Amino acid sequence: GGSGSIGAAVGHKIIGIDPGAGLMAAADRAVTDYGLTDWTLVEGSSAAMAVALDKAVKNEDPIIVTGWTPHWMFAKYDLKYLDDPKKSFGEDEEIRTVARLGLKEDAPSAYAFLDRFEWTDADMAKVMAAVQEGAEPADAAAAWAEDNAAMIDGWVDGIEPGAGETIKLAYVAWDSEIASTNVVGWVLEHRLGYKTELMQVEAGPMWAGVAGGDADAMVAAWLPITHKDYAEQYEGKYEDLGANLKGTKLGLVVPSYMDVSSIEDLAG
Ligand code: PBE
């Protein structure tokens, strides 16, 4: 159908996630860039977005959500990203590990491992799928770690165990970051002798926590675009340890049965 009919079919709503997510700022940009004046970006959470998507797909109803890769939803459902010719969602970024200042001196073994930690979207997908199927995140991380002992050997090779200190990892309840944070926590606890505290917070407090030293590190920094505002706000107050996963993507996502291919088609 025509463009107007898509807007009408979904009530001119884009189903978003938590308001602190960089993805929401990007979706706001898209609303402006593409002139989607009568559209509403609905705030919620990753979990609520996934529930809405599941319900729509089961009924073959139209729906537009904010989405990102890596995410299990692309394996579970037949979905497509809408083209973004104006690049509101940016391109070419990575997930980075960010540590508080002083972690290197205070917990050198944890720091050395965090600096080395890097995996792929295929690795992350396995943990995410297990969680999505109902496993506790810590159990899914442990199972993945047992299946991938050789990779973990490489991450900790030559690093002396720590002295049993507690490492606080901040993260947001994004499916991708639940997976990575639990795996990193497992390695710190089971291979490097640390205790861990996994602090689930919103995106702003996650960055504030690492910058202020209340958290030791996060593996959930999407840069250079998605978390640009946070990175600029706290510049000089954290240490960027580089990529832990490459090959990410963000955008507006729809079920493949919808007759729409570009964000441009939503205007009017
Ligand atoms: N996300 C997943 C986050 C980063 C990880 C894309 C939802 C965000 O938008 O900030």
Quick: pLDDT tens for 74-94.
999 999 999 999 999 998 899
Predicted complex ipTM: 0.95
Gap from CA of 160 to ligand 1 centroid (Å): 33
Q: Which of 14, 74, 176 to mutate to test the pocket of ligand 1 (most atoms within 8 A of CB)?
A: 176
pLDDT value of position 1: 45
Whether residue 224 is preceded by a cis peptide bond, meaning omega within 30 degrees of 0, is yes
Residue located nearest, by CA, to atom 2 of ligand 1: 174
CA 47 to ligand 1 centroid distance, Å: 13
Q: Which atom of ligand 1 is nearest to the CA of 250?
A: 6
Closest Cα to atom 3, ligand 1: which residue? Answer: 21
Indicate the average pLDDT of the chain: 96
Note the pTM of the prediction, 2 decimals.
Answer: 0.94
The residue ranges of every structural domain in the chain are: 3-91+249-266, 94-246
Pocket of ligand 1 (CB under 6 A): 17, 21-23, 68, 174, 176-177, 203, 222, 226, 250
Task: Tell me the CA–centroid distance for residue 167 and ligand 1, in Å.
Answer: 23
**pLDDT for the residue 4:** 65
* 135-187 residue pLDDT tens: 999 999 999 999 999 999 999 999 999 999 999 999 999 999 999 999 999 99
Question: What's the pLDDT tens digit per position in 178-189?
Answer: 999 999 999 999
Instruction: Write down the architecture of domain 94-246 according to CATH.
Output: Roll (3.10)
Which contacts qualify for 55-63: CB closer than 8 Å, 24 or more apart? 56/255, 57/255, 60/255, 60/257, 62/6, 62/9, 62/10, 62/254, 62/255, 62/258, 63/10, 63/15, 63/254, 63/255
Q: Tell me, in angstroms, the distance from the centre of ligand 1 to residue 222's CA.
A: 7
Nearest atom of ligand 1 to the alpha carbon of 21: 10
Domain 3-91+249-266 of CATH type 3.40.190.100: yes
